[in-house]
Chain A
Amino acid sequence: MNLDYTPEQLAYREEVRAWVDANRADAPALHGQWTDTAWIAGRRAWQGALADGGYAGVTWPQEWGGQGRSPVDQVIVDEELVRGGVPNILDYIGLGMLGPCIMAHGTSEQKQRYIGPMLHGDEIWCQMFSEPAAGSDLAALRTSAKAQDDGTFVLDGQKVWTTNAQFAEFGLCLARTNPDVVKHKGLTMFVVPMDTPGVSVVGLEQISGDAEFNEVFLDGVVLGPEHVVGEVDGGWACALTVLMNERLSIGRDVTGFRMDVDRFPPPIAADAHARRDPEVRHRLGDASVDLLAVRFNGLRALTALQQGQVPGPEAGLAKLTMVEAATRAADLVVDVLGPSALDPTSEWYHVVSYLPGFRSAGGTAEIVRNTVGDRVLGLPPEPRSDKGVPFSQTRSDGAVEAR
């Protein structure tokens, strides 16, 4: 058991650090508004610079422009970017989740066409899965993709909470090609160029007032068969690959929010009274215990990854702990600093505003508990009224028609 880095890893860290030092002047601000086109342009260019330096797609196979390096090297890059105070890649959704899906399920033409520009940030991707009536119950989605006689598909429907759609060139979209089978057997994954006629994106303001995610309307969007990823009606397998890769990225801090144990003590330490107050100390200690556990949960997961194991559903538990503990710690910081810490100019405004939604992003706390209970503890699943029922026989609200 050790935390030691190999000489190669130490050398790699030096190399990354030197690169960050040499290129820092070109980096955009760490934080900005997600609707600020100038900042986004800066983030794209910065991702391009990272890719040219070999610091995007660190673990991707070399065949697709990645570095073929270990997960530890990815952590080294992440840490050095945080240390340098510069942003990571912009398209963490594409590189972290969607690219790996295309690599696993796409045709060689698709890989040739999409992977390179994705890596360099020339083309940004968004994940078009959730819908107004299908989030946790993703397979109940209703966006339809009707096959035409000429081999094309026509997509109609609506996606929602689509992060980065406001500037994305492509979306990976799950839609229903066959309503007459059980819900997850009639889905197909499509590549949607966001400038296709019939695609419209409307920003959704979040708690902070910023608009990171969007509604995406699909209105008679025509896509050729070359846009299908994987098999027609085989989209659920692609979606599972995306969700599995989402777990891989859970421990990574790509958003720059850094909900780490070191994040919260400084404002309390700076307050001579608060730092001796037993109640404040108890709350800080309690949250810090959990945030330290999150740090070492991550290192344990990294050990498993290095040995070629894939992260299981239990990876979601670390996210639950992180959100819960960071929420308690952030509340404490604001209690100590006072209500002015909730002014939009304060860094805590963003942390406090981000956490309640983050609890649901990538699977709500309840869904994580259901999945871990079923798959890790082996507890019996809940009865489902739509089990084995063709999608077309379920009501529009998802319930099964009375028969």
Chain B
Amino acid sequence: MNLDLTDEQRLLRGSARDLLAGRGTIAAAREAITDPTKLPDLWSVAGEMGWAGLLVSEDHDGVGLSAFDAMLVFTELGRVLASVPLLGHLTASVLADRADGALAAVLADGTRRAAFVAARPPGDVVDGWTVERETGTGRVPAPVLAADGTLTGATAWVPDAPGADVLIVAATREDGSPVVVVVEAGDASVREERTYDATRSVGHLTFDHSSARELDGLGAGDLAGAWYLAQSLLAAEALGAVETALEMAVTYAKDRMTFGRQIGSYQAVKHQLVDVLKARENAYSLIVYAGLAHQDLPEELALAASAARAGAGKALDLASRTCIAVHGGIGATWEHDAPLIFRRAQISRRLLGGTDDATDRVAERVLAGATT
């Protein structure tokens, strides 16, 4: 029993932190709101660092690290609001690695970039694999692979789809059974959507008899695994932003004086900051749980990854709003960094089912556990 990071994991985390420091990613997050070309190109960095192939096995020229290792890198990305399309790529690469070594290898070195077009696994209330719509709370069935090998359907709000070379899509056959297919980006329509968080690349996808290639041997377990990996990565990324928000707010609370005292000495301020720390501790514990589940507890993965997503999402909502509040007026200005974390929180909580869907999944799992 040991929940500490290994020396290798500390090294991985430290090198990611060093590499991302001083790249001006936070300032770029603001400039990109008006001019998206201001985002630094981190994709080549990701390739050099081996991040693109982090989850591809060594047999396919990847680094062969664990989901938890990827989560550590994501926390560092989140810490500086880095914009790099790894969420879509890493989840896609895991599927390629299991079924198509040649594809996995070109994804691993970053020469081709992939995006995973996820579908939410069936639950105890909603049956079937479902995807997001552009607006409204209802979900729609995942794209369908016809007998003639073409894919038809639409999925909205797909992370990292714009600019991807290849899409790895969670689809179903006409009978509703899940299947993983590869679609060249040129064979689909990808409409980029600029969002409230300029660092987040998302697109709306339409497949209209797009030619698609099935990844043999993959099924429901693999697709669910990729969904929960994406949930875990989003959780880890949120944690990094929480830590930045907390640090920023604590620093300010020690500095800013009112009525002859530092504002951090007022309980109304102090207790808000402690509540952010509490949420941070809880989120980290759940991220550790998710990491363990990916590694050793497959039957708990749905619960652990969903709990991590929900817990870290809650933490980010709280941290980003508290950070603004503790800064008073300055926190609500365009020039300040606090609103950038708030923008991150606003989009993150709504991606891939959103934190509410993750919370519902936690309920489903604990209810199922109580029934058996």
Contact = CB atoms under 8 A, between A and B. Distances in A.
B277 A2 contact: no
Contacts of A1: 2-6, 9, 68, 288, 291-292, 295
B307 interface: yes
A286 B273 contact: no
A296 B5 contact: no
B278 A317 contact: yes
A379 B277 CA distance: 13
Nearest to B266: A382
A374 B269 CA distance: 12
A317 B371 CA distance: 31
Interface in B229-273: 250, 253-254, 261-262, 264-267, 270-271, 273
A292 B363 contact: no
Contacts of A269: 367-368, 370-371
Nearest to B361: A285
B281 A299 contact: no
A297 to B, nearest CB: 5
Q: Which secondary structure dominates where chain A touches chain B?
A: helix
A376 interface: yes
Q: Which of B1, B6, B265, B370 has the most CB of A within 10 A?
A: B1
A320 B274 CA distance: 11
Contacts of B273: 373, 377, 379
Interface footprint category on A? 35 or more
Contacts, number: 179
Contacts of B282: 289-290, 293-294, 297, 321
B310 A3 contact: no
A383 interface: yes
Contacts of A320: 278
Contacts of B271: 366, 369-370, 373
A183 to B, nearest CB: 21
A247 to B, nearest CB: 14
Contacts of B68: 1
Candidate in A4, A281, A383 with the most chain B CB atoms within 10 angstroms: A281
A117 B182 CA distance: 71
Contact of A2 (B2, B267, B275, B371): B2
6 tightest A-B CB contacts, nearest first? A293-B282, A285-B363, A296-B285, A379-B264, A285-B359, A265-B370
Interface of A: 1-5, 9, 72, 261-262, 265-266, 268-269, 275-276, 278, 280-282, 284-286, 288-290, 292-297, 299-300, 302-303, 306-307, 314, 317-318, 320-321, 366, 369-370, 372-374, 376-383
Given A282-B359, A383-B265, 5 more contacts: A284-B366, A289-B307, A292-B286, A369-B274, A382-B265
